[in-house]
Structure 1
């Protein structure tokens, strides 16, 4: 009897122990499952604003830890586009060959046989004065595909730098006509140097280019004017054909016909024609150029003239 009771008590204790172990295993299983779920969620890559999956920073191995870093490929260019730098749409300025030189009579002469000698050089003195006249002169020159030198005075440029800029932007070739439009031949070297040099400076400040041509006021530069012009790398010139437009008055009749006659009466191959920025010259220019073309003349580009007289 005692043995039976002892056996019954032992069986009860064993059943109780087994029940406790099963509860502990369930608790441990629940605890182990939670980290696994958390790890799975954090491993999922985030989405960017567009809804596409962005690579996780932690998913790629860091360089230097014994593994090779993965380099993302560069974004490909859209079809029809180029990643190369496109060249400037503005063509490089064509270099103008030196085809002519100026002789001792201030005429334009071809450097070689076969170059057209029936040409004239167009020049205008004493500007810049008015935008309206500048535009009208340039419109006429453009119409005839002609270039001209505009010999400017420094004091006028200082008063109206915007006019010089306009003239330059319209394609006028800027020349130096001294600062104050005074007779230079009897002045000191220092004064002539300042009269010419100050114009070089202000023109370059405004246009980026210093003049390459010099004409002394009243055609009177003397040896000192020639010397200073040469020191500044400029071609010294007066003229060989005068339009005499400076002698005309507003009240004079038939100014266009008079100006054209003044030029054509002296006309010859290589004529260096002196005109001025004046209202009647502006009005007469189209008729003059048409007349010259009718006589078989063309208009030399000043940039094709050597800067040394010979």
Structure 2
């Protein structure tokens, strides 16, 4: 997905705000639409963002700037079928999609949230990511597409068995902001159902493809017991066709660290070069004093 970035200038954000996650079957991302938000310390409330996709999908098309702001809307009570999170909640998401402590006395804590979109695609790219997360004792949200889960249920099971969190990224990776309520219900609900059928629990986090949303998207996500989020730090890993892996690796690290701030909600994808960069990236973040938020400790409001 593209980026709702924090830690960048307004001009910088607008410059990349039109590159989204379109790509081809070999994992080479091609630009689509990007977020149009301030990239200073964190995006302005209500700013819109567009999200990238690191691979093509059955019905994907180039993504223009989203039609509605993806900022969280008041959350109605979830449906009876929604599975609430359990365990102690110590963090929440703010209006800029940063992850911040519930305890205001902990505001000096340096934390980031790791997220990976558009999977599960391939064991060759997924396993190195999972191995690196294990090495650093880090947890992440894997925002999955339903059609990919259908193709690779074993990979979704692997994500869950490794203690990682599964999020909803729509069934076909389409721009939900352009869809009607019936279509949105199907795109979100089918992912909830197939994930539950595969790993026994329903997602509680939702990220719309290309950050494209409208009022129906916010409402239907909430009706399904899902916390709507985009991101506040974009790795830009989806914008790197034609460069060497080592160059992509350094570019990912530079992109993340250039925007780095406490609470950074970091957008990445299941890509070979992201997998190659991840160990060095996490080591760099740890060297700067950052730790990794466990998604299970984030309050969803449901």
Quote how far apart the aligned CAs of 1:223 are: 1.8
Q: Which blocks of at least 5 consecutive residues in structure 2 are unaligned?
A: 1-85
Does the residue aligned with 2:216 lie in a helix, a strand or coil?
helix
TM-align CA RMSD: 1.4
Does the residue aligned with 1:233 lie in a helix, a strand or coil?
coil
TM alignment of 1:17-56, pairs within 5 A: none
> What per-residue deviation string (whole Å, max 9, x for no partner) do you get for residues 24-60 of structure 1?
xxxxxxxxxxxxxxxxxxxxxxxxxxxxxxxxxxxxx
The one of 210, 220, 239 equivalent to 1:228 is 220
- Contact 1:153–1:177 (CA under 8 A) maintained in structure 2: yes
1:203 maps onto 2:195 in alignment: yes
Quick one: distance in 2 between partners of 1:274 and 1:222? 21
Query: Cα gap change, 1:159/1:121 in structure 2, threshold over 3 Å: closer, same or farther?
Result: same
2:156 is matched with which residue?
Answer: 164
TM alignment of 1:10-89, pairs within 5 A: none
Does the residue aligned with 1:254 lie in a helix, a strand or coil?
helix
2:115 is matched with which residue?
Answer: 123
4+ runs of 1 displaced by more than 6 Å?
Answer: none
TM alignment of 1:235-250, pairs within 5 A: 235-250=227-242
> What per-residue deviation string (whole Å, max 9, x for no partner) do you get for residues 203-240 of structure 1?
00010000010000001122221111100111100000
Q: TM-score, normalised by structure 1?
A: 0.67
Quote how far apart the aligned CAs of 1:96 are: 3.1
2:68 is matched with which residue?
Answer: none
2:104 is matched with which residue?
Answer: 113
1:85 is matched with which residue?
Answer: none
2:167 is matched with which residue?
Answer: 175
Quote how far apart the aligned CAs of 1:288 are: 0.4
1:141 maps onto 2:133 in alignment: yes
Greater relative contact order (CA < 8 Å, ≥ 6 in sequence): 2
Query: Cα gap change, 1:143/1:230 in structure 2, threshold over 3 Å: closer, same or farther?
Result: same
Q: Which blocks of at least 5 consecutive residues in structure 1 are unaligned?
A: 1-94
Quick one: distance in 2 between partners of 1:251 and 1:112? 43
Quick one: distance in 2 between partners of 1:288 and 1:244? 14
> What per-residue deviation string (whole Å, max 9, x for no partner) do you get for residues 116-165 of structure 1?
63100000000001112222111100111100000000011111111111
Quick one: distance in 1 between partners of 2:281 and 2:102? 27
More helix by share: 1
Quick one: distance in 2 between partners of 1:151 and 1:159? 15
Quick one: distance in 2 between partners of 1:308 and 1:275? 25
Q: TM-score, normalised by structure 2?
A: 0.69
Quick one: distance in 1 between partners of 2:262 and 2:243? 33
- Contact 1:203–1:211 (CA under 8 A) maintained in structure 2: yes
Quick one: distance in 1 between partners of 2:260 and 2:200? 35
Does the residue aligned with 1:210 lie in a helix, a strand or coil?
coil
Q: Which has the larger radius of gyration?
A: 1
Quick one: distance in 2 between partners of 1:130 and 1:172? 17
Does the residue aligned with 1:185 lie in a helix, a strand or coil?
helix
Quote how far apart the aligned CAs of 1:171 are: 1.7
- Contact 1:138–1:170 (CA under 8 A) maintained in structure 2: yes
- Would you say how many aligned residue pairs link Structure 1 and Structure 2? 215
- Contact 1:102–1:308 (CA under 8 A) maintained in structure 2: no
Quick one: distance in 1 between partners of 2:130 and 2:155? 13
Quick one: distance in 2 between partners of 1:127 and 1:250? 22
2:74 is matched with which residue?
Answer: none
Quote how far apart the aligned CAs of 1:250 are: 4.9
1:261 is matched with which residue?
Answer: 254
